[in-house]
Amino acid sequence: MTQQLILSVPAPILTYDAYADLQGQNVRDVVNAVARGRLPVYQPPTSPDENPAKVKKYINMVALFADAAKQAGIEINLG
């Protein structure tokens, strides 16, 4: 018998502010975690004339949930 775990992701991506509020952290802690590679980031595609460094980045909640599931030994199917 296969067991099923249903997770609810609040949104596929969150702003740094929204993620900080959700986790009870300040935004500076989120920025530092991103800089250290501890949080997965989504950056929207840029056009050739845009500076990628100036494009707003978001916390990738889908990647965060997938990583947490993997660390817990849970196989997930995003199909």
What percent of the chain has pLDDT above 70?
91
Residue pair 72/56 in contact by the 8 Å Cβ criterion: no
Distances (CA, A) of 13 to 3, 30, 48: 27, 14, 23
What percent of the chain has pLDDT above 90?
58
Q: What's the confidence (pLDDT) of residue 9? A: 82
Residue 5 gets the label, from left (phi > 0), alpha (psi -120 to 50) or beta, of beta
pLDDT tens for residues 28-55? 999 999 999 999 999 999 888 988 888 8
- What pTM did the predictor assign? 0.82
